[in-house]
A and B are shown apart, each in its own frame.
Chain A
Amino acid sequence: MAHSAHTEHAAPAILAEVNPAPLPRAILVENNRSFNWVTEKICGIIEGPTPRWWWISFAVSCFIASFTVLGIVYLVSTGVGVWGHANPVNWAWDIVNFVFWIGIGHAGTLISAILCLLRQKWRTSINRAAEAMTIFAVVCAGIFPVFHVGRVWFAVWPGYLFPVPNANAIWPNFRSPLEWDVFAVSTYGTVSVLFWYIGLIPDLAVLRDRFLKTGNKVKSALYGFFAMGWRGSNRHWSNYEMAYLILAGISTPLVLSVHTIVSFDFAVSLIPGWHTTIFPPYFVAGAIFSGFGMVLTLMLPLRAIFRLEDLITQYHIDCMCKIILATGTIVGYAYGIEFFIAWYGSNPYEGFAFINRAFGHYAWAYWIMITCNVITPQFFWFKKVRQNIVLVWILSIFVNVGMWFERFVIIVTSLARDYLPSSWGYYSPSAVEIFTFFGTFGVFGVLFLLFIRFLPIMPMAELKAVMPQADPHAGHGDSKH
């Protein structure tokens, strides 16, 4: 029959003797808030009137996004020649921007999947927004490989990217890492959306019922449709949690494989500076580094605007800064090892490629990269820096800039100076390329603003589950309710 839970938690006798110092668990929700406070706070953002800053930001984002639209329309109607690519640099900003955006997405999956498996409970207050960031970053990334084929319909039909037989009945070349990339990125985008949606279901149900109560039947029906009739049943939670765990379990190898395969685009080729085995781990670390930079860039303003200090605490910011520090240091180490191997490998072309990166025509880009990626994160060793929110935000921007330049340095310097001096060149982007890339920030902004206006920016159910009141063994008899 029902037995007492007290006996299960009897402390070992030795503890009384050694009297260990208490190690408090980090508080994830400050000020001892109630469950209802969380619901009101998160739903209040959606239910309240649209703030003026939102409309202003939305208008600005739409304007910026129009640059991408114009750039793409011009590209498709004229041809890929409108981009600045020419021999020998036939891959340039398009793939730089693609890798940049894909990399940013990786932090979202890291937070939602890897930190879930590692039971890092602090992920709960940032995972929803970070996953949204992932999806929107993949959208921005996808623009470049799809449109770099020029006549974009050829990507799908007759199948330059996807395996649909073309006019000569030839299939895509599955031996090529570029084809692997198509599958990696489309799988990544799809699984990210699925994972995000599954996380949203319980929260959409909350909004459904709240809108029904206030008489807004249209919104209630819309949220209700996507909530799938969720009713908080524990028999459902049991399957739900298992599904969530499995999705986290498969997203972890997925996120690692995506940037690994992206790095294969380079590592499998024979270009000096690309043909290195260090690329997969180095790219993954760089991706997580840049992604956390973007998470901070987005979350710190949200925290200030919506007064979310109780949910995104200093502890959360500390954790993110430390991940940036760790991954940034890995990236810096990889830069060093690349140089070492270039020298140690005694391949003159490889050696030249690296000397050329640091001291050649593109040295300016190389030193921007080193400054932003190697020096910037080192500031996060200091608690004073991590506690200065404005400074953290500025440093996070530097991380984003640095990681864009990393891809630029890897891709452009290696192609501009390969084996034969007779085929050397210097690449500069065309105005169309610059516009298209600039506009993707607007595309991202539009999507992210729509997200924070219409969807709960934090997973309410998960937040509640990490609060101290959620532990059924927490307060026998002296429950705070």
Chain B
Amino acid sequence: MADSIYGLMARFDSASEIFHAAKKVRDAGFKNWDCITPFPIHGLDGAMGVRRSHVPKFSLVGGLAGFTTGMSMIWFTGAFDYPLIVGGKPYFSPLFAFPIAYELTILFTAFATIAGMFILNWLPQHYHPVLKSDQITRGLDDTFYVVIEARDPKFDLIRAKALLTQSGAKEISELEA
């Protein structure tokens, strides 16, 4: 029975309701579940048991790459490929190379951060059962949903429904896979 559906989508009407429901679902031991909210709710990560994001690791790699690129580009062009004396200044110095290396650090960090966000979120993902539900319009407007996926090892349709009802869900619907 549970094979034919993607999961359960339960509606909550306020930020505090979903906050408390999220704690209950987390404590019931579910792993493959999510909250759909129109805006990031302060503290909901903790209530869901979501760990700190890994995006900063991407950013760090990007930043280091940018700085290295800037410095080595200026060394390569000015001191290696075509050394040319301009204004009696040295062929290469980290001082005059710094502004450009600094800007490239920021540029590469920005790209890496955004790439990290997309990769960790598996975006773009234009098809998703949640998006197929017509409730998503309200989920991005003023309503909050808890989605428990059927593939979760602890998923049992009747018990999951009971848990969501007990957590204060206003309406529970089954999502097509």
Contacts and interface: CB of A to CB of B under 8 A. Distances in A.
Q: Tell me the dominant secondary structure on chain A's binding face.
A: helix
A175 B15 contact: no
A2 B27 CA distance: 7
> Size class of B's contact patch?
35 or more
A464 B124 contact: no
A476 B22 CA distance: 15
A202 B140 contact: yes
A370 interface: no
B104 interface: yes
Interface in B78-122: 78, 81-82, 84, 86-87, 89, 96-97, 99-100, 102-104, 106-107, 109-111, 113-114, 116-118, 120-121
A98 B41 CA distance: 41
Contact of A232 (B19, B20, B37, B114): B37
Nearest to A37: B142
B140 A205 contact: yes
Given A479-B14, A479-B17, A231 B136 contact: yes
Given A35-B141, A471-B15, A261 B99 contact: yes
B42 interface: yes
B19 A472 contact: yes
A233 B120 CA distance: 12
A234 B114 contact: no
A2 B24 CA distance: 7
A460 B137 CA distance: 14
A461 B77 CA distance: 46
B118 A191 contact: no
A191 B102 contact: no
Interface string B122-146: 0111111011001011011110000
B128 A231 contact: yes
B69 to A, nearest CB: 11
A479 B37 CA distance: 17
Contact of B117 (A173, A184, A243, A254): A243
Given A183-B99, A254-B106, A461-B39, A246 B59 contact: yes
Interface in B59-86: 59, 63, 70, 73-74, 77-78, 81-82, 84, 86
B152 to A, nearest CB: 14
> Size class of A's contact patch?
35 or more
B72 to A, nearest CB: 12
B145 to A, nearest CB: 8
Contact of A170 (B16, B63, B82, B99): B82
Given A174-B100, A232-B38, A250 B106 contact: yes
Given A174-B74, A174-B78, A472-B16, 13 more contacts: A2-B23, A174-B97, A190-B107, A209-B131, A212-B137, A229-B127, A231-B36, A237-B37, A237-B40, A250-B113, A462-B39, A465-B41, A473-B16
Interface of B: 13-20, 22-24, 27, 34-45, 47-48, 50, 52-56, 59, 63, 70, 73-74, 77-78, 81-82, 84, 86-87, 89, 96-97, 99-100, 102-104, 106-107, 109-111, 113-114, 116-118, 120-121, 123-128, 130-131, 134, 136-137, 139-142
